[in-house]
A and B are shown apart, each in its own frame.
Chain A
Amino acid sequence: KAGVTQTPRYLIKTRGQQVTLSCSPISGHRSVSWYQQTPGQGLQFLFEYFSETQRNKGNFPGRFSGRQFSNSRSEMNVSTLELGDSALYLCASSLVGVRNTGELFFGEGSRLTVL
């Protein structure tokens, strides 16, 4: 079956703009998590959605937001982009959550560059 699909794979934005990233989880998976990966901060948890509700949230400013649709597809949005938002944004899906099944399936990520 198809894996986790993230679009776009690469994008370049300028400071002050906003960006929307999309994630299609594995069919049947209801939990979608988002992570930011940077050389300096490593992998940091942004938020997790389950059945269209945000279930867990990391320590990111309100400029970072997300949502999940009824088909479990998820989007994350970053408004008023800053240079420090340049990162690889990874989406991961699981059936109902990492504690239940013990596995997250990751997409290849969306690499965002902010100029």
Chain B
Amino acid sequence: QKEVEQDPGPLSVPEGAIVSLNCTYSNSAFQYFMWYRQYSRKGPELLMYTYSSGNKEDGRFTAQVDKSSKYISLFIRDSQPSDSATYLCAMSDNFNKFYFGSGTKLNVKP
């Protein structure tokens, strides 16, 4: 079983839609959760960081962590064509090693 599971998509939505991206994981020791955005032929860039369970909001982005279900989500409100990218979830128990999902490719159509 993979440490982190993420639906690869692709996910195609119209501009302005609310996007929901999700990951599940198996290691209950994970307590640090991150979402990265990766444009084609670029390295990932950090979008959101959450510690333990709960919600965190930053502009149009909301990250949710449910440790009891081992499930994390990223919501994008009022999605824009510029949000089209691959979104990777990542998690860690001690910051010495990060475990990444395979990424979900998102396409926001104008």
A binds B: no
